[in-house]
Amino acid sequence: MAVSKSTNTYNRQNWEDSDFPILCQTCLGDNPYIRMTKEKYGKECKICVRPFTVFRWCPGARMRFKKTEICQTCSKLKNVCQTCLLDLEYGLPIQVRDAALKIQDDLPRNEVNKEYYIQNLDSQMSKFDPSQPSNSALKSKGASDLLMRLARTAPYYKRNRPHVCSFWVKGECRRGEECPYRHEKPTDPDDPLADQNIKDRYYGVNDPVAEKLMRRAAAMPALPPPEDRTVTTLYIGNLPENITEEELRGHFYQYGEIRSLTLVPRAQCAFVQYTTRSAAEHAAEKTFNRLVIAGRRLAIKWGKSQGRQGPSEAIEAGVPLEPVPGLPAALPPPPAFLHPFPPQMPPPPNRPNDFFNLHHYGGPRAWAWPPPGPPPSHPAPPAPLHYPSQDPSRLGHAHSATPQT
């Protein structure tokens, strides 16, 4: 229940007044011309129970109105959004972030101790940069592998959808398309995601969404290196459209010396070849499911071995291949009458191998060309002229002895 200024003015100097909320990109929406309503000391913070300034706005068309739930002091203490209570940097629940960074929560639970702790925290935050988190553990901790794999790379506006219309579920909604709520079947009421407590989410305990993300992280695939030690090429997929070779080289050169980088803009992929295998393994370990460029998470895979044999090469080399299930068996051998001799028996020594049975028609020599004769001793005389055009003395020959008639 909100504390009215006229009924209770105890410790009013510690009430919070702000000009703009601390929100994530998802809760703020994609509308650059958003309009907000501001109510000074409108409600109590759901964590520290202090009156604070409440902001209310609509993130976009066909979305529900949202408002701030906790004060800015509690938001800066955990570096979370005032509305959804998700981490501002990674977009993850507090329980997942604290587990990944190994942060111990020392926020008091008692109301009196909590009020004293918040007052001291306010006086300390006034001396530091308000855009940075007040928790010193969050400043000192670096990025974790788990956070990089689970972090969202783009706003999730589906979370701003309206709630389910209770009248439509009962079959009594008559507003049709003008109804501001969703006409969809609700989820399972026994689903643990439907039962969330805002205090448990803030303190990072018993959060069903965080437990679901932790199970997903445990089931994420890995990228084992290939057995062929000569493979030093990485396949980079899901590249942005306007990325350049220099920008891509700047991201991967930090892991080792690059021998070649081939960019394929049409397929939105690239191939990065390192000079050493250790550099390629280091790059694959640091970038798999972690590298994000221009809001896209890049797909990292190992390149194929250049010495790997294909199916045709394996057959020529005599390597036995495994039978493919579902295909018919091999064809039977041809009948024996088509062979002049059985395959297991060689031809007799006094007769050559005659596959086409030419001995029935006079033998192979009857079908052979006659042998060439000896070359003539003197050249043959020229052939007689049958046409006037063959006479060299005609048609204006320069050495003609008699004039043409």
Residue 363 belongs to a domain: no
Q: 111 with 248, same domain?
A: no
**138 and 199 assigned to the same domain:** yes
Domain encompassing residue 247: 233-302
Domain edge (last residue) among 161, 190, 220: 220
For residue 6, what pLDDT is reported? 45
Exposed, middle or buried by CB within 10 Å (0-12, 13-18, 19+), for 53? buried
**Structural domain count, the chain:** 2
The per-residue pLDDT for 120 is 75
pTM of the model: 0.57
369: which DSSP letter? Answer: P
Residue located via tokens 């969703």: 182
Do 75 and 188 lie in one domain? The reply is yes
The alpha helices in 23-110, defined as continuous H runs, are 25-28, 72-78, 94-101
| CA–CA gap between residue 46 and residue 18 (Å, rounded) | 17
| Residue 60 and residue 20 share a domain | yes
User: Is 340 a member of any domain?
Assistant: no
- Which residue type occupies 32? P
Whether 105 is covered by a domain: the verdict is yes
Nearest CA among 94, 106, 176, 123 for reference residue 14: 123
Task: Give the residue from 220, 247, 265 where a domain finishes.
Answer: 220
Asked if 295 and 264 touch (Cβ cutoff 8 Å), the reply is no
Same domain, 201 and 105: yes
- Does the residue 353 lie in any domain? no
**What's the rounded Cα separation, in Å, for the pair 299 and 317?**
35
The predicted pLDDT at position 357 comes to 56
pLDDT attached to residue 385: 59
pLDDT of amino acid 132: 61
Q: Name beta bridge partners: 260.
A: 273
Residue 152 lies in a domain: yes
Residue 38: beta bridge partners?
55
Q: Tell me if 197 is assigned to some domain.
A: yes
Paired tokens of 201: 């989410």
Bridge partners of 237, per DSSP, are 299
Domain boundary among 168, 197, 220: 220
53, 127: one domain: yes
Is residue 295 assigned to a domain?
Answer: yes
Residues 176 and 264 occupy one common structural domain: no
Q: Is residue 225 a part of any domain in this protein? A: no
CATH at residue 278: 3.30.70.330
Q: What is the pLDDT along the chain (405 residues), one digit of tens a residue?
A: 444 444 455 566 678 888 899 999 999 998 888 999 999 988 999 988 889 999 999 998 889 999 999 999 889 888 999 999 999 988 899 988 888 888 877 777 777 677 777 777 777 766 666 556 555 555 545 566 677 777 787 888 888 999 899 899 999 999 988 898 999 888 776 676 777 889 889 988 888 888 888 888 777 777 888 888 888 999 999 898 888 888 898 889 889 899 999 898 888 899 999 999 999 989 988 888 778 888 788 888 898 876 554 555 445 445 566 666 666 777 777 776 565 555 555 555 555 555 555 555 555 555 555 566 666 666 666 666 556 676 777 655 555 455 554
Residue 211 neighbours by CB distance under 10 Å: 15
Token pair 């993850």 is found at: 92
Residues 280 and 163 in one domain: no
Whole-number Å distance between alpha carbons of 270 and 268: 7
56 and 123 share a domain? yes
In the prediction, which pLDDT does 222 show?
Answer: 74
